[in-house]
Amino acid sequence: MVRVLSGIQPSGRLHIGNYFGALRQHLALQQDNQCLYFMASYHALTTVQNPQEMRQNTLDVALDYLTLGLDPSRTLLFRQQDVPEVTELTWIFSCVTPMGLLERAHSYKDKVARGIMPNVGLFSYPVLMAADILIYRSHLVPVGMDQKQHIEITRDIAAKFNNQFGEIFPLPDGYILEETAVVPGLDGRKMSKSYGNEIEIFDEGPDLKRRIMGIVTDSTPVEDPKDPETSTPFVLLKLVASPEEVEHWDQRYRSGGMGYGEIKKRLLVLLDEHFAPLRDRRRELAGDPDYVEDVLRESGRKARMMAHETMELVREATGFPISYAPPD
């Protein structure tokens, strides 16, 4: 069975870009594969350094996954920090990773360009990501196009380790998530917590209305034809409307005589209807923290056993065998 692994940073509440861009595809993959999904807390620590915020964000991500359909009987959902062996492997990988490989990472350059204070953790992010993937000897890693380079770096690191110490790690493949699921934010850029342009999955009421009605549009007069494919409200509507309704709005855009307020109001109704049935489920799960903790603890235990098996091979290969009982 193919082993699939992905992590998501608990750096804030998840938004519909996360859902349509990745989460729903993660959930679909669990039907025919062995899936491991984790809250990438160590990665989030590069920017989130408030302990209460980190704990709450981590819980929120777990609640969202479980609400949206993750099946803990067949898929592991765990906290990155519950597998401390990953940090040990990160150090070992850092000793075989050339500096030049990390200096070419697009993600680091992009974050610095956006004003994020550079630190060692941000710079060495791809090494930790490689350890996350390889410690479970994963075969497939679902990523967006912006993360494709990190999979290439992971493969390079695995190859360098294998060449130096012996064949331990399979070279994972990236599973590029659907291009059509790149979701624009309120300002037209890719929806992202770091841009502050997101619509949270479980937004409702006045908060949801304020965000939808605040979507940035151009100044094309109402009577003029408009290009739907360059319009953020239309692109978002395509995610939740039927094909027939999408065609209706496409024609209205191209015919002219339509104001953006009309499609924003319809988008508000459709998004509200799409996620409304899940809100009660999320509130129910949030009211049962013991269940959520049990899921995370048991998944973390299983993931750590897998990591322990890998690290025994790595320690032996690198000359660092240790004697202790495996984690419970």
Q: Does 275 reside within a domain?
A: yes
Output the tens digit of pLDDT for each of the chain's 328 residues. Answer: 899 999 999 988 899 999 998 899 999 999 999 999 999 999 999 889 999 999 999 999 999 999 999 999 999 999 999 999 999 999 999 999 999 999 888 877 777 777 777 788 888 999 999 999 999 999 999 987 778 888 999 999 999 999 999 999 999 999 887 654 579 999 999 998 888 999 999 999 999 999 999 999 999 999 999 999 999 999 999 999 999 999 999 999 999 999 999 999 999 999 999 999 999 999 999 999 999 999 999 999 999 999 999 999 999 999 998 776 666 6
Cα(81)–Cα(38) distance, rounded to whole angstroms? 10
Residues 274 and 297 in one domain: no
Show the domain range for 210: 202-284
Q: Does 196 reside within a domain?
A: no
HSE, side-chain direction, 13 A CA sphere, residue 196? 1
Predicted pLDDT at 327: 65
Cα(196)–Cα(214) distance, rounded to whole angstroms? 13
Enumerate the active-site residues: 111, 190, 193
User: pTM of the prediction?
Assistant: 0.90
Cα(301)–Cα(47) distance, rounded to whole angstroms? 27
Residues 301 and 208 in one domain: no
Q: Does 116 reside within a domain?
A: yes
Residue in 45, 115, 112, 32 with CA at minimum distance from that of residue 74: 32
Residues 221 and 301 in one domain: no
**CA distance readout (Å), 115 to 9, 99, 111, 189, 228:** 19, 22, 7, 17, 32
Residues 55 and 29 in one domain: yes
Residues 298 and 276 in one domain: no
Other Cβ atoms closer than 10 A to 251: 11
Predicted pLDDT at 315: 96
The number of helix segments (H) and strand segments (E) in the chain equals: 15, 5
Residues 144 and 249 in one domain: no
Residues 37 and 154 in one domain: yes
Query: C-alpha dihedral over 274, 279, 285, 289, to 10 degrees?
Result: 130
Residues 254 and 131 in one domain: no
Residues 154 and 102 in one domain: yes
Q: Does 151 reside within a domain?
A: yes
Residue 38, Ramachandran bin (φ over 0: left; ψ between -120 and 50: alpha; else beta): beta
Are 29 and 36 a contacting pair, CB within 8 Å? no
